[in-house]
Amino acid sequence: MLLEYLKKRQQMINEKSAYYTKNGIQVFSKDPMVNDLVDLESVMAKYESILPEHIRDGIEMVIIGQFEEFEKRDINAFYRDGALYVSNFQSDNEDLLDDLVHETAHSLEEAYGYEIYGDQEIKDEFIRKRKFLYDVLWKMGFKAPKDMFLDSEYDEEFDRYLLNDVGYDKLSEIVRGILITPYAATSLREYFATGLTEFYLYPDNHNYLKKVSPELYKKLIKIHGLNSA
């Protein structure tokens, strides 16, 4: 009796840990959610409802759990080869949804890289904001080489400078009206990804996004409209 019970229980666990969404995305929980209040199936349903098909077209699988990359790179989600790897440590449904949408934005850089970056418009806008941020931080006593602010690629030293030297609490105040989030200052790719996340998660804030990052907003409208015919 006990052996039969254990077999059935293990079967239920296995069935619950992997399933396919309505649109065919395979979801696999390598590790269980730490927060029992996070409803993975509900979040995935919302994810598919708010993102157009062509935006999530590059996503074949979502894997929930802990991975070496999280500790090595001090992150809690990443995209690779058609899969979203997302931490099982999530504060709530919104936190998980944010990670999923943000990493989906990075998947678009493979499919629509030229459409996003080819004309240099959002790169120019990003660098202008970085230059402004440099001037503000310098006047506040946060000294750093200007060259760091002119490089649009991710730089670990610059990331640590924002996180540890300036601090995200203070940075949040500084970038208000300049960037959508402090993390958007990290690199051009994160500037795009945070913008796309804002675009789809908070449609009521489109006017603010358009005001703060007009070139990025125009690009997001263009990407949103692709394959809509």
- pLDDT tens track, the chain, 229 positions: 545 544 444 444 444 578 999 999 999 999 999 999 999 999 999 999 999 999 999 999 999 999 999 988 889 999 999 999 999 999 999 999 999 999 999 999 989 999 999 999 999 999 999 999 999 999 999 999 999 999 999 999 999 999 999 999 999 999 999 999 999 999 999 999 999 999 999 999 999 999 999 999 999 999 999 875 4
Q: Strand, coil or helix: what is 152?
A: coil
Q: Write out the DSSP string of 84-114.
A: EEEES--SSHHHHHHHHHHHHHHHHHHHSHH
> Residue 74: what pLDDT?
85
**Which string of b and e fits 106-122 if b means at least 16 CB within 10 Å?**
bbbeeebeeebbeeeeb
> Residue 7: what pLDDT?
47
> Residue 68: what pLDDT?
92
> Residue 13: what pLDDT?
44
What sign has the CA pseudo-torsion 171, 172, 177, 182?
Answer: positive
> Residue 201: what pLDDT?
97
Find out if CATH 1.10.150 is the number for domain 2-111: no
Map out the domains of the chain as residue ranges.
2-111, 116-225
